[in-house]
Amino acid sequence: MLGLIERGEAGLVVGTHAVIQEQVQFRNLALAIIDEQHRFGVAQRLALRGKTSGEDLEPHMLMMTATPIPRTLAMSYYADLDVSTIDELPPGRSPIVTKVVSEQRRDEVIQRIRGQLEQGRQVYWVCPLIEESEMLDLTNATETHAELSAALPGVLVGLLHSRMPVAEKKAVMSLFTSGQMGVLVSTTVIEVGVDVPNATLMVIEHAERFGLSQLHQLRGRVGRGAAASACVLLYSTGDAPRLGAGGEAPRQGGNERPHLSAAARERLKAMAETSDGFEIARRDLDIRGPGEFLGARQSGAALLRFADLAADSQLLAWAREAAPVMLDRYPALAERHVARWLGSRTDYLKA
């Protein structure tokens, strides 16, 4: 296959991150399409851009994602990316109600699962770990699988994680997609590429540990049919985030744990208040920062000496209009300006 790709005999190549490996070379790569762009790093996207045998050739690049990373969203403000937005749900999809719930109400969540199963629906329960870790106090997938199996007698509860053999993973997913399995306990391996319209409830354990992009992707596994769907974000502290419409304040009392961090609080609040991917990306940008436009860091402080993305939006609009005029009328001066401020780092603007 590598030979077919290098000779140009394979007109269309579909692959995973393996396509970026050094030994994969294209004869004349004209278009590179990256799905789930937020799962690729800057260096990986640049490497894919450079996979063509011609020195002066550079492919067009189309990047798709439901939740742009902060760096990408910030770059769209600078007009370095053309953006197309699909702002409507596909036909037949139902809106998803999101609730933020303390783990102290875990029994109520399990009762809610029973109700969904009685209606013939299916449920996802997502955990961040596979097995118990001495470093992190997190409920793990294997323990949750045992707990739900005991709490839901007569219901087939499956377990799915990345360490399972491929054949076993396929068998578990086949049982769930066919409707024979009522509850699927999983790690984040179901984040993309899983479409089960009959699944109407998503429970995310330790939601405060996940990033906004990942939470939004996981939530998207439900609401894929006409039936009403919900996503429950279980968090592991007794302190309730102050949420707007859509959030649910947990009950007080009991053994409370340390407060949520400010960033975790804002992430949960964003998930409860909106299901719009671009709005979530904007919140993520506010929380984490845009990262480096001329470097590989995809979040964090922008390291801009004077400008501010939010406060200087009018200045950015003026600059977008002025730049092509300068390039057209004074190309030599424009080139000197770019060389002075950007130098060899301009490649980073292409990723």
285 in any annotated domain: no
Statement to judge: residues 343 and 241 lie in one domain: no
The confidence score (pLDDT) of residue 319 equals 81
Say yes or no to pLDDT of 30 above 60: yes
Statement to judge: residues 158 and 115 lie in one domain: yes
The confidence score (pLDDT) of residue 282 equals 82
The more confident residue out of 307 and 326 is: 326
Statement to judge: residues 128 and 218 lie in one domain: yes
150 in any annotated domain: yes
> What is the extent of the structural domain holding 47?
2-86+291-350
**CA-to-CA separations, 250 to 9, 194, 211, in angstroms, rounded:** 60, 31, 21
The confidence score (pLDDT) of residue 345 equals 56
Give the model's confidence band at 162: pLDDT under 50 very low, under 70 low, under 90 confident, else very high.
Answer: confident
**Percentage, residues of the chain above pLDDT 70:** 74
For the CA atoms of 310, 313, 319, 320, what is the dihedral angle to 10 degrees? 100
218 in any annotated domain: yes
Statement to judge: residues 22 and 104 lie in one domain: no
Neighbours of 222 (CB within 10 A): 26
Q: What single string gives the DSSP state of each residue in 14-39?
A: --SGGGGSTT---SS--EEEESSGGG
Average of per-residue pLDDT values in the chain = 79
**CA-to-CA separations, 332 to 209, 327, 337, 338, 339, in angstroms, rounded:** 50, 8, 9, 10, 11
By three-state DSSP, how is residue 209 classified? Answer: helix
Helices 277-288 + 70-77 axis angle, to 10 = 100
283 in any annotated domain: no
Give CB contacts under 8 A, 24+ apart, made by 81-87.
Answer: 85/278, 87/276, 87/278
The confidence score (pLDDT) of residue 25 equals 80
Task: Report the number of distinct structural domains present in the chain.
Answer: 2
The more confident residue out of 135 and 131 is: 131
The confidence score (pLDDT) of residue 102 equals 92
Statement to judge: residues 219 and 138 lie in one domain: yes
Q: What single string gives the DSSP state of each residue in 294-332?
A: TSS--SB----SS--TTTTHHHHHHHHHHHHHHHHH-HH
Mean pLDDT of 211-236: 91
Contact at 8 Å (CB) between 191 and 220?
no
Give the model's confidence band at 132: pLDDT under 50 very low, under 70 low, under 90 confident, else very high.
Answer: low
Q: Which of 214, 249, 275 is the last residue of a domain?
A: 275
pLDDT digits (tens, 9 = 90+) for 66-84: 777 666 666 666 556 677 7
The confidence score (pLDDT) of residue 308 equals 66
The confidence score (pLDDT) of residue 276 equals 84
Mean pLDDT of 15-40: 81
Q: Which of 42-51, 149-158, 251-260, 334-343 has the lowest mean pLDDT?
A: 251-260
Say yes or no to pLDDT of 246 above 60: no
Handedness of CA 267, 161, 89, 233 (dihedral sign): negative
Tell me the H-state helices in the chain.
Answer: 2-7, 42-49, 70-77, 106-118, 141-151, 166-177, 212-219, 262-273, 277-288, 313-329, 331-341
Q: Measure the N-to-C terminal CA separation of the chain; round to a whole number of Å.
A: 27
Statement to judge: residues 240 and 139 lie in one domain: yes
Mean pLDDT of 253-275: 77
147 in any annotated domain: yes
The confidence score (pLDDT) of residue 213 equals 84
Statement to judge: residues 207 and 158 lie in one domain: yes
Query: Residue 138 sits in a domain of what CATH number?
Result: 3.40.50.300
Statement to judge: residues 182 and 263 lie in one domain: yes
Q: Which of 49-53, 113-117, 281-285 has the lowest mean pLDDT?
A: 49-53
Q: Which of 275, 301, 320 is the last residue of a domain?
A: 275
Give the model's confidence band at 239: pLDDT under 50 very low, under 70 low, under 90 confident, else very high.
Answer: very low
The confidence score (pLDDT) of residue 205 equals 94
Statement to judge: residues 108 and 217 lie in one domain: yes
The more confident residue out of 294 and 255 is: 294
Statement to judge: residues 161 and 254 lie in one domain: yes
Say yes or no to pLDDT of 346 above 90: no
pLDDT digits (tens, 9 = 90+) for 173-196: 999 999 999 999 999 889 877 899
Enumerate residues 6+ apart whose C-beta is below 8 A from 330: none
280 in any annotated domain: no
The confidence score (pLDDT) of residue 252 equals 39
Q: Which of 250, 275, 300 is the last residue of a domain?
A: 275
The confidence score (pLDDT) of residue 120 equals 95
206 in any annotated domain: yes
The confidence score (pLDDT) of residue 344 equals 56
pLDDT digits (tens, 9 = 90+) for 275-300: 888 788 888 878 876 655 555 454 45
157 in any annotated domain: yes
Mean pLDDT of 8-19: 84
Statement to judge: residues 260 and 119 lie in one domain: yes
Give the whole-angstrom CA distance, residue 34 versus residue 64: 6
Statement to judge: residues 120 and 64 lie in one domain: no
The confidence score (pLDDT) of residue 261 equals 85
